[in-house]
């Protein structure tokens, strides 16, 4: 799977301002500010800043916390720790710029969530975007759901390229006209203007989660969606904000009896009555809403018996599932735990049909990963468009891809050094004991601060988006 880099990183904090500046100013800004650095930036000076972005910011608020393609892959949304959403749009093919196909440019950026304070509990509510989910497009506008720990918002993103002019009672700049000077009536007309992309909050779904929301998932009926926190799952109607139905509640009467929490949940891609949720004990429950309104009793229970020989102090922590995703076909699901990715057939509950080791070499390092809290990192995983390959992240800005048919796997690195625009990504190898070969990196020199938790795969093509802390990389299959 050869991949080339087509766009590296996005600005973030200052992007809104950057887009309105001209090129010399940007260069000045980048040199003067310690917050930004850039290299190999290619500009198109047609008013807009386009082409390869290579900005990166070192602000903690800029850490990317979620990445999600829309259903056709033309749009890509990212959310960050600072509560912002940035949407990228894929460049259309053009005759005079034959290589432009595939480049994603910033389309819209807006503040989705603000920091809040819960006065009753004396708790700060972070603005960090935990998840973004697109709704299928139904008219000219785009809709997406974004959530932080507590509140889900439905955003409408729409374009405007016309403006009404020739009002009777006010000037073009909005000032009221002197009524005595109005001698004739005008008919207002629509005039073309520069394209503007506006994001407006359409619905706010609040006050339904006591614990932190970890997942949202749009149902295949396109009318409802679910939201999951540590102990409960709620079902919402997209039009109704003041109530939701509690469909799973695992909160014990006595909190001291709590032994597991919900870690992720997702709706089945085709059957709107079916959903799954995973737990911190490494199990997955499939529920059918037709069987009962409250799905505390699951329909299927997926669990792999533990191998007693590999049992250790860390067994329970590393078996916790950080992500669950149905395949596009709806026949399989994939789960990510700390060291592996597993593919389950929905018709087989007692073991996964495939298991892929992501970074087995860390098994001997679990003690230090526990001490530096890395063992609690929540890695996500994703399928490619035809379910033939899967991808998930690792440390040192490495990410892994597994081809399900050939059982081949590859480790790639998302870093500025290794991914110049249009450069081929070289497979990386981690040396596990023995003599280290040239090009190999030893387990001890891996950087655990550089982790790839969030990745997304274009639904139709070999284009992937990889979030490496505060940088976004988009790679695509090398054509010709
Ligand atoms: C995804 O976004 C593109 C670009 O605006 C749009 O043309 C397409 O219809 C969207 N796809 C879906 C299925 O929502
Ligand atoms: C998904 O991966 C498989 C295996 O590598 C490949 O054959 C297939 O073309 C890929 N599908 C898409 C839509 O990229």
SS (H, E, C) 411-435: EEECCCCCCCECCECCCCEEECCCC
The pLDDT of residue 292 is above 70:
yes
Instruction: Map residue 279 onto helix, strand or coil.
Output: strand
Contact 380, 400 (CB under 8 A): no
Query: Each residue of 294-328: pLDDT tens digit?
Result: 888 888 999 999 888 888 899 999 999 999 999 99
50 contacts: CB under 8 Å, gap ≥ 6: 43, 44, 103, 105
Nearest ligand 1 atom to the CA of 72 is: 11
108 in contact with ligand 1, CB cutoff 6 A: no
pLDDT value, residue 267: 98
Contact 366, 318 (CB under 8 A): yes
What's the CA gap between 115 and 133, in Å, rounded? Answer: 21
Instruction: Map residue 194 onto helix, strand or coil.
Output: strand
- Expressed in angstroms and rounded, the spacing between residue 128 Cα and the centre of ligand 2 is 33
Averaged pLDDT for residues 376-388: 97
Instruction: Map residue 315 onto helix, strand or coil.
Output: helix
* CA proximity to 319, closest of 280, 277, 264, 278: 280
Ligand nearest to the CA of 69: 1
Among 33-37, 103-107, 137-141, 296-300, the least confident range: 33-37
- Expressed in angstroms and rounded, the spacing between residue 137 Cα and the centre of ligand 1 is 6
Averaged pLDDT for residues 27-45: 31
pLDDT band for position 25 (cuts 50, 70, 90): very low
**At 245, phi and psi to the nearest 5?**
-100, 130
Could you tell me the pTM of the whole model? 0.83
Averaged pLDDT for residues 119-124: 86
226 contacts: CB under 8 Å, gap ≥ 6: 215, 216, 217, 219, 233, 234, 235, 236, 247, 265, 267, 275
1, 73, 385, 400: residue to mutate for ligand 2 pocket, most atoms within 8 A of CB: 385
The pLDDT of residue 114 is above 50:
yes
pLDDT value, residue 31: 29
Give the residue whose CA is nearest to atom 14 of ligand 1.
137
pLDDT value, residue 337: 97
What's the CA gap between 36 and 41, in Å, rounded? Answer: 13
pLDDT band for position 283 (cuts 50, 70, 90): very high
The pLDDT of residue 284 is above 90:
yes
SS3 content of the chain, % helix, strand, coil (to 5): 10, 40, 50
pLDDT value, residue 420: 67
Placement of tokens 């909160």 in the chain: 251
- Expressed in angstroms and rounded, the spacing between residue 223 Cα and the centre of ligand 2 is 30
CB atoms within 10 A of CB 463: 23
Averaged pLDDT for residues 240-245: 95
* CA proximity to 258, closest of 250, 249, 266: 250
Among 62-76, 101-115, 203-217, 411-425, the least confident range: 411-425
158 in contact with ligand 1, CB cutoff 6 A: no
Give the residue whose CA is nearest to atom 7 of ligand 2.
388
CB atoms within 10 A of CB 290: 11
pLDDT value, residue 274: 96
Placement of tokens 């053009």 in the chain: 94
Long-range contact set of residues 343-348: C-beta below 8 Å, sequence gap at least 24: 343/390, 343/404, 344/284, 344/302, 346/286, 346/300
Ligand nearest to the CA of 72: 1
- Expressed in angstroms and rounded, the spacing between residue 297 Cα and the centre of ligand 1 is 37
Among 223-232, 246-255, 372-381, 437-446, the least confident range: 437-446
Averaged pLDDT for residues 228-233: 96
The pLDDT of residue 345 is above 70:
yes
* CA proximity to 439, closest of 466, 413, 414, 458: 413
Ligand nearest to the CA of 135: 1
Nearest ligand 1 atom to the CA of 70 is: 1
% of the chain beyond a pLDDT of 90: 63
Among 49-53, 248-252, 385-389, 455-459, the least confident range: 49-53
Instruction: Map residue 125 onto helix, strand or coil.
Output: strand
Each residue of 115-152: b (16+ CB within 10 Å) or e?
Answer: ebeeeeeeeebbbbbbbbbbbeeeeeebbbbbbbbbbb
Nearest ligand 1 atom to the CA of 89 is: 4
- Expressed in angstroms and rounded, the spacing between residue 70 Cα and the centre of ligand 2 is 18
Query: Each residue of 129-182: pLDDT tens digit?
Result: 999 999 999 999 999 999 999 999 999 999 999 888 888 888 878 888 888 888
What's the CA gap between 58 and 306, in Å, rounded? Answer: 42
68, 72, 107: residue to mutate for ligand 1 pocket, most atoms within 8 A of CB: 72
159 in contact with ligand 1, CB cutoff 6 A: no
């Amino acid at each position: 799977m050869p991949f080339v880099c087509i766009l590296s990183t996005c600005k973030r904090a200052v992007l809104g301002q950057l887009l309105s500046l001209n090129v010399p100013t940007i260069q000045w800004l980048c040199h003067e500010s310690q917050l930004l650095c850039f290299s190999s930036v290619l500009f198109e000076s047609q008013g807009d800043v386009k082409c390869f972005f290579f900005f990166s910011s070192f602000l903690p608020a800029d850490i990317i916390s979620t990445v999600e393609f829309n259903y056709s892959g033309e749009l890509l949304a990212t959310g960050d720790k600072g509560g912002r959403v940035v949407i990228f749009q894929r460049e259309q093919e053009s005759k005079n710029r034959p290589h432009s196909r595939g480049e994603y440019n910033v389309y819209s950026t807006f503040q989705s969530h603000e920091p809040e304070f819960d006065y009753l509990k004396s708790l700060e509510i972070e603005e960090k975007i935990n998840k973004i989910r697109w709704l299928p497009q139904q008219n000219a506008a785009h809709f997406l759901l974004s959530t932080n720990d507590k509140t889900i918002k439905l955003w409408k993103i729409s374009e405007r390229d016309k403006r009404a002019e020739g009002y009777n009672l006010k000037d073009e700049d909005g000032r009221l006209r002197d009524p005595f000077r109005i001698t004739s009536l005008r008919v207002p007309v629509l005039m073309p203007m520069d394209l503007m992309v506006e994001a407006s909050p359409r619905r706010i779904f609040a006050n339904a989660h006591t614990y932190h929301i970890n997942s949202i998932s749009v149902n295949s009926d396109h009318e409802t969606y679910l939201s999951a926190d540590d102990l409960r799952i709620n079902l919402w109607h997209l039009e109704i904000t003041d109530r939701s139905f509690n469909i799973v509640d695992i909160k014990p009467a006595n909190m001291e009896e709590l032994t597991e929490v919900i870690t992720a949940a997702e709706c089945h891609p085709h059957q709107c009555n079916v959903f799954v949720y995973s737990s911190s004990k490494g199990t997955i429950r499939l529920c059918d809403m037709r069987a009962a309104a409250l799905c505390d009793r699951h329909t299927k229970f997926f669990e792999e018996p533990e191998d007693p020989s590999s049992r250790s102090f860390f067994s329970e922590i590393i078996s916790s599932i950080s992500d669950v995703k149905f395949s596009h076909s709806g026949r399989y699901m994939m789960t990510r735990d700390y060291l592996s990715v597993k593919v389950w057939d929905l018709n087989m509950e007692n073991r996964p049909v495939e298991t892929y080791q992501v970074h087995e070499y860390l098994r001997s390092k679990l003690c230090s990963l526990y001490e530096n809290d890395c063992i609690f990192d929540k890695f996500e995983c994703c399928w490619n468009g035809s379910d033939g390959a899967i991808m998930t992240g690792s440390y040192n800005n490495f990410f892994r891809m597994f081809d399900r048919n050939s059982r081949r796997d590859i480790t790639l690195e998302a870093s500025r050094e290794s991914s110049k625009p249009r450069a081929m990504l070289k497979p990386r190898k981690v040396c596990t004991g023995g003599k280290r070969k040239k090009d190999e990196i030893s387990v001890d020199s891996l950087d655990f601060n550089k982790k790839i938790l969030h990745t997304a795969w274009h639904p139709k093509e070999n284009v992937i988006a990889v979030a490496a802390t505060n940088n976004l990389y988009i790679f695509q299959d090398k054509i010709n």
